[in-house]
Amino acid sequence: MIQPLAYIHPEAKIAQNVVIEPFAIIHKDVEIAEGSWIGSHAVINEGARIGRNCKIYPGAVISATPQDLKFNNEYTRTYIGDNTTIREYATISRGTEEHWKTEIGTDCLIMAYAHVAHDCRIGNHCLIINNVQMGGHVHMGDWAIIGGSSSVHQWAKIGAHAMISGGSLVRKDVPPFTKAAREPLSYTGINSIGLRRRGFENDKINQIQEIYRYIYMRGLNNADALTQIELELPPSDERDEIVNFIRSSERGIMKGPSTNNVERE
């Protein structure tokens, strides 16, 4: 199932039922698991670990050398989870000594011309739309979505189930379960439609919404808002996830929806 016009390094480890189309290039120290498909002119570089039933479309470049001036040719890897699709001309860099690997989860879709830089950690079921440009060390939680032509600052964190509007500049962290839009990037509500599609009941969605009222609607700074949330709202996995995300944020979270877009520390 490997076309004769493809180049496969003899040290690459390819499962027997992988399809590799003509003119694809597979370098040494590459592993591709069962059921995956590699399109024409895709390039899989050293250190790539491709999971089961992945699809790598023509022109995509996986595990490229990091675009980091500090990179000193250290041995690093790129992991692509099972059932993930990477569309045309998307590029994914391998890690640096900061984290030693770039990780893409399972069941993700990375669309055409997107770039995932070194040491990024992308969760499961994530959707990265066409031409998203992602700096190094970005963390993206499960089920998160980044709209097309958005740019994500290095070290930024995007919480699980968050949805970022197309054309956004993501300079701050985006908390879980939220929608983000406008310039500068601001809270525009919770991702209720996405949550319902994933089986969240209305009571749970209302609880999440109430948590964000404390954070964005009551004029409190983040520390006071989190304290009141823990004192006044019932414990839940979602509450703890939001609180822990904001407390651990190093870049600070995105602005609230106020007219003046006053940033809260």
Structure tokens given for 105:
């989860």
Q: Would residue 81 show up in a list of annotated catalytic residues for this protein?
A: no
Q: Distance between CA atoms of 55 and 117, rounded to whole angstroms?
A: 19
Cis peptide, bond prior to residue 184, ω within 30 of zero:
yes
Name the catalytic one among 118, 125, 137, 161. 118
The β-bridge relationship of strands 55-56 and 157-158 is: unpaired
Q: Distance between CA atoms of 182 and 261, rounded to whole angstroms?
A: 10
Structure tokens given for 252:
């600070």
Strand order in the sheet with 25-26: 7-8, 25-26, 43-44, 61-64, 91-93, 115-116, 133-134, 151-152, 169-170
Whether 123 and 94 have beta carbons less than 8 Å apart is answered as no
Q: Would residue 136 show up in a list of annotated catalytic residues for this protein?
A: yes
Closest by Cα among 41, 34, 86, 33 to 59: 41
Q: Distance between CA atoms of 29 and 234, rounded to whole angstroms?
A: 50
Helical H segments across 97-250, by residue range: 192-197, 202-216, 222-232, 237-248
Q: Would residue 107 show up in a list of annotated catalytic residues for this protein?
A: no
Name the catalytic one among 136, 141, 147, 256. 136
Fill in the DSSP letter of residue 92. E
Name the catalytic one among 82, 119, 142, 173. 119
Which residue numbers are catalytic?
118-119, 136
